[in-house]
Structure 1
Amino acid sequence: MVEVTGPIRVVVVDDDPLVRGMLTMMLDGADGIAVVGEAADGDEAVTAVDRHTPDVVLMDIRMPRVSGITATERLRRRPRPPEIIVLTTFDTDDHVVRALRAGASGFLLKDTPPERISQAVHAVAAGMPILSPSVTRRLMRHVASGAEAYEEARARLGLLTERERDVVVAIGQGRSNAEIARDLLMSVTTVKAHVSHILTKLDLTNRTQIALLAHDGRLV
């Protein structure tokens, strides 16, 4: 989760200038959001993030030179990476899983209503993953058929304490820190500490990857 003070700073990345312009116009007029930069491909996206230090990046997938998935992988390896929402017309199973494993915090289709996109920006800036309903269905199909992913996930989950596994299950169910604290009878501060330890132990970068691992390991 990024620490946001003031408007949420957003960079829009899409190789279509009309789409970039539409998204910029829509988001720049939304409450609590400021578009601070644009990019036409994944390579430019990395440069734009370095220049503008956004809180959230809206990232297309299929772009010339460097794809959105490759750019997401590069950005999420940064010491203080932005949250990334993949916004695309392509929602194949492969695209969904690759984007989430790369570290995207959200995956929405370009026909998502404008108000939903702005809500997603606010949500991922607050540390909550966002997936469109069709994307969630595709992800569940992938998990149900992934025997190899299941074995790998169970081995990694074995590194966690029982309490950390409880937190992983709750994240996989889409619960917020406040809801986890209530259900597991602990403080929000303790929940955040558990999440931080889980990310470090499992070499993950965000809650979406924790949720994906929980589904791969069939904890939820």
Structure 2
Amino acid sequence: MAPDSTVLVVDDHALFSDAVALALATGGRTVHRVRLETAGRSPSRLLASALRIQPDIALLDLDLGRYGDGRDLIRPLSRSGVDVVVVTGHIDEADWGGCLRNGARAVVPKHRPLAELISVVHRLEAGEPVLDPGEYHRLTSLWQARLAEDDDHRRRLARLTPREREVLGELMAGRTIREIADSDVVSEATVRTQVRTILHKLGVSTQIAAVGMAHRVSWNAPEPDRPVRT
């Protein structure tokens, strides 16, 4: 890649974006920032705004705030021939592995020195490797393990009866056992028995763990069908 490459910065933090752009705008390199406030909240519009620039390299944040999730842009950008470098404050290495599997060339944590990010850009421009194969394998293996674990969580959640799904949904909404019992016109003892069964089926020991499992796999609880109190 020529040293006069075009680099795109997609990040909702203006100060960080400005610092990166200033550091990169040397040696004939062209640096653009996607204006998230004009691109809108639609992932397709944001992608279209990015592709119109025809970048060689895209420095992409994962958390774009109200503008969406940067993960949605990795695969389409990389398939369009863009070298995607994820620049993120997330410290979940399994998540990094997912980004790599979706086509990112590297992941650079935001807490690392800016010089490290600039070095990755230089190596991409020179056609040099930016990630050790062993590190790639380690990170993507973590992602594969995460996927397998999430699949197991979904299978466990699928074992719940309709009533147990309702109770878990109430717990996810932050309601106590007493509140669930009152709203459903049943005894607290009945709800406690249902909660114990839920924990057993999910293979966890606390309500917090059960709720965490459901949130992690974006499990949606059914709308409760409560009897009318007379």
What TM-score bracket applies, with the shorter chain setting the length? 0.5 to 0.7
Matched, 1:26 2:23: yes
Within 5 Å, give how 1:11-90 maps onto structure 2. Answer: 11-29=8-26, 31=27, 33-40=29-36, 45-63=46-64, 64-78=66-80, 81-90=81-90
- Report if aligned partners of 1:86, 1:104 keep a CA contact under 8 Å in 2: yes
- 1:23 partner letter: V
User: Aligned-pair RMSD on alpha carbons?
Assistant: 3.3
The offset of 1:100, in angstroms, is 0.7
Larger Rg: 2
Q: Which moved more, 1:139-148 or 1:81-90?
A: 139-148
Verify the 8 A CA contact 1:56 1:83 in the aligned structure 2.
Answer: yes
Report Cα offsets for 1:97-134 as digits up to 9, x if no partner.
Answer: 111111000100112222221110122234445359xx
- Preserved CA contact (<8 Å) 2:75 2:103: yes
Give the number of the structure with larger relative contact order, counting CA–CA contacts within 8 Å between residues 6 or more apart. 1
Q: Are 1:117 and 2:117 matched, yes or no?
A: yes
Between Structure 1 and Structure 2, how many residues are aligned? 141
Given residue 109 of structure 1, which amino acid in structure 2 is its aligned partner? P
Matches of 2:99 and 2:137 in 1, distance apart? Answer: 15
Report the TM-score, using the length of structure 1 for normalisation: 0.53
Q: Trace 1:188-203 onto structure 2 (pairs within 5 A).
A: none
| Structure 2: gaps of 5 or more residues | 38-42, 149-230
Aligned residue runs from structure 1 range 118-157, under 5 A: 118-131=118-131, 139=139, 142=142
Please report the TM-score for the alignment, with normalisation by the length of structure 2.
0.51
Unmatched segments (≥5 aa) in structure 1: 149-220
Identical-residue share of aligned pairs (%): 24
Measured in 1, the distance between the counterparts of 2:63 and 2:49 equals 18
Deviation digits for residues 74-95 of structure 1 (CA, Å, limit 9, x no counterpart): 22233xx210000011120332
Q: Distance in 2 between matches of 1:147 and 1:95?
A: 10
